[in-house]
Amino acid sequence: MKKLLVATVAILGLFLGNSARAEEEKTSSVEYMQSSSYEMEIPARIVLNKNESTSFVIWTKLNITPSENLEVRVIEGVSDEGNIDLNRKNSNDKVTTSLYKKKSGLMTEDKLLTKSENLVETFEGKTSDTNGGIKSGIPMLIGPPVGKLLAGSYSGTITFQTELVNVSNKKDLVLN
């Protein structure tokens, strides 16, 4: 019986000895990723004033990651000189106008947009809307029509493009 008691105590000691070891800790990483999203509202139709510039706004809702920029450009309908051709309906006559980003913030004058200088705005990792209601605006101007203003209806188009650009893909400007 003594041998059985000693063997039982020895086995119990092994179990108790194992459970008396230091506790082990492990951690879990908890992560969430929200992709960039945005909405742009660009007027489908802009009616020009005869003698003065016409204002309009490109509205944005933004939720852009810090590693991305949203670029807004005008990609069609503006010439190298910044002209927009408006063609007279049922005729070969035309007049021209120009597209500007209206001065705001640190800008001291309106910026003429051309085929090569076509960047309207860059939003750098910006969030203006997380609850569905906050909008930011890009103020724009179109100049009055220039040319022989014959009676009739004139029209032309301008096309805007938005693009998410990864900031790490941008190259640093090196000046020599």
Q: pLDDT tens across 17-72, in order?
A: 555 567 899 999 999 988 888 888 999 999 999 899 999 999 988 888 888 998 99
Q: What is the mean pLDDT of residues 1-11?
A: 52
Query: Which of 127, 124, 118 lies closest to 69 in space, CA to CA?
Result: 124
Please tell me the predicted confidence (pLDDT) of residue 117. Answer: 92
Instruction: Please state whether beta strands 111-112 and 68-76 pair in parallel, antiparallel, or not at all (unpaired).
Output: unpaired
- Cα separations in angstroms, 92 against 47, 81, 151, 158: 21, 21, 13, 19
Q: What is the mean pLDDT of residues 76-92?
A: 94
Instruction: Please state whether beta strands 37-41 and 54-63 pair in parallel, antiparallel, or not at all (unpaired).
Output: antiparallel
For residue 155, give the DSSP letter. Answer: E
Mean pLDDT over each residue of the chain, to the nearest integer? 82
In angstroms, the CA 98 to CA 112 distance is 7
**What is the residue type of 174?**
V
Residues 6+ apart with CB under 8 A from 71: 119, 121, 122, 123, 162, 163, 165
Indicate the pLDDT class of residue 173, thresholds 50, 70 and 90: very low
Q: Mean pLDDT check: name the lowest of 3-17, 120-134, 138-152.
A: 3-17
Indicate the pLDDT class of residue 176, thresholds 50, 70 and 90: very low
More confident residue, 29 or 124: 29
Q: What is the mean pLDDT of residues 141-164?
A: 93
- C-alpha distance across the termini of the chain, in Å: 96
